[in-house]
């Protein structure tokens, strides 16, 4: 397949993310290297929710950073909405949220959410209006004027998500955004994220260690394996449109089945004949 640079219209132009034969090798010291990703290919459709799951060190964060253009592949190519990853970053086609909320402590909730808009020259009135809208979306209206240290971890994370959504990205890149939260807060945040995705119709690439979290949120779960980092298998979660899932799903038989399928895929070889499994 050609790896032309320009913006030529091709069959992938409508995909949110196209990762094509991507490898990333880190030189750790003279003569020694780590293959964080080895020939990984993955396509994410617009509005699709895809989770990356796998043991520590299998290249999940590396893959996300490459999509975000925070790092460059050793070989292969990455396109976001048909553009090279670099151009997508410049055009702010995606929002990012990581494990640490990373809020500025001297700015209020409103101030933090307005920051990206401010940096890109959006006027005060428009900024205020957008921040208010997002604060309502993440259910923090009463805390608009609070400072980060007056909020719980879950609330801080909601502010970080609101900030990531400020510029209406069609793609969200999230690296263990709920990793530091207790189980109950985490489930509430997952419900919230499902609702937000339904409202914004953003595609999401979501890194997690939690199997139930991956299943609950995703249209597809991508299982990675380490050394070298590769895609072991991809499971389609056939539990209805991810964005329309509700709390009941956590008690659903199909949900438990998908959870055990992902668990088997993580711990062993791809389960032969497992339903909905596309091995690569
Ligand atoms: N900047 C870097 N320099 C050297 N090695 C790195 C760097 N970033 C990641 N690695 C290595 O690449 C592998 C994958 O890392 P990472 O993507 O962080 O894994 P994960 O997020 O799945 O835990 C690991 O072996 C890690 O040590
Ligand atoms: Mg990581």
Number of domains in the chain: 2
Query: Is residue 210 in some structural domain?
Result: yes
* Residues 267, 186 within the same domain: yes
Range of the domain at 182: 34-93+170-273
* Residues 67, 117 within the same domain: no
**For ligand 1, atom 26: residue with the closest CA:** 57
Query: Is residue 278 in some structural domain?
Result: no
Whether ligand 1 lies within 6 angstroms of the CB of 61 is answered as yes
Query: Is residue 7 in some structural domain?
Result: no
* Residues 188, 265 within the same domain: yes
CA dist., res. 40 & res. 63, Å (int):
9
Take residue 180 and report the two structure tokens written for it.
Answer: 């530091």
Query: Is residue 150 in some structural domain?
Result: yes
Q: Which of 148, 168, 188 is the last residue of a domain?
A: 168
Beta bridge partners of 32: 29
* Residues 75, 109 within the same domain: no
Query: Is residue 177 in some structural domain?
Result: yes
- The CATH number of whichever domain residue 212 belongs to comes to 3.40.50.300
Within 10 angstroms of residue 11's Cβ, the number of other Cβ atoms is 8
* Residues 69, 176 within the same domain: yes
CA–centroid distance, 241 to ligand 1, in Å, is: 32
Question: Under DSSP, is residue 78 helix (H, G, I), strand (E, B) or coil?
Answer: strand
pLDDT (tens, 9 = 90+) of the chain, 280 residues, equals 344 444 445 554 579 999 999 999 999 888 899 999 999 999 999 999 999 999 999 999 999 999 999 999 999 999 999 999 999 988 888 888 888 888 999 999 999 999 999 988 999 999 999 999 999 888 899 999 999 999 998 899 899 989 988 888 889 999 998 887 888 888 888 888 888 888 888 999 999 999 999 999 999 999 999 989 999 999 999 887 766 777 778 888 889 999 999 999 998 754 444 444 444 4
**For ligand 1, atom 4: residue with the closest CA:** 26
* Residues 48, 149 within the same domain: no
Query: Is residue 18 in some structural domain?
Result: no
Beta bridge partners of 23: 75
pTM of the model: 0.86
* Residues 237, 257 within the same domain: yes
């Amino acid at each position: 397949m050609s790896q032309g640079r320009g913006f030529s219209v091709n069959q992938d132009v409508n995909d949110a993310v196209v990762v094509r034969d991507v490898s990333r090798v880190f030189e750790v010291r003279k003569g020694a290297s780590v293959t964080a990703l080895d020939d990984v290919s993955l396509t994410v459709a617009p509005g699709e929710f895809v989770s990356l799951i796998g043991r520590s060190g299998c290249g999940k964060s590396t893959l996300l950073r490459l999509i975000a253009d925070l790092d460059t592949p050793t070989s292969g190519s990455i396109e976001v909405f048909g553009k090279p990853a670099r151009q997508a970053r410049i055009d702010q086609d995606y929002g990012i949220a990581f494990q640490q909320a990373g809020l500025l402590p001297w700015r209020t909730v409103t101030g933090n959410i307005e920051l990206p808009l401010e940096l890109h020259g959006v006027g005060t009135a428009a900024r205020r209006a957008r921040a208010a809208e997002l604060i309502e979306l993440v259910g923090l209206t009463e805390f608009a004027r609070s400072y980060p240290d007056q909020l719980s971890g879950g609330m801080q994370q909601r502010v970080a998500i609101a900030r990531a959504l400020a510029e209406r990205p069609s793609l969200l890149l999230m690296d263990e955004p709920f990793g530091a939260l207790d189980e109950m807060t985490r489930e509430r945040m997952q419900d919230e994220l499902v609702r937000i995705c339904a409202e914004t119709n953003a595609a999401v690439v979501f890194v997690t260690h939690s199997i139930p979290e991956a299943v609950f949120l995703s249209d597809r779960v991508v299982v990675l394996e380490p050394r070298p980092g590769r895609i072991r298998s991809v499971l389609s979660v056939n539990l209805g449109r991810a964005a329309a899932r509700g709390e009941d799903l956590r008690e659903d038989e199909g949900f438990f089945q998908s959870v055990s399928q992902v668990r088997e895929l993580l711990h062993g070889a791809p389960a032969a004949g497992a339903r909905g499994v596309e091995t690569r």
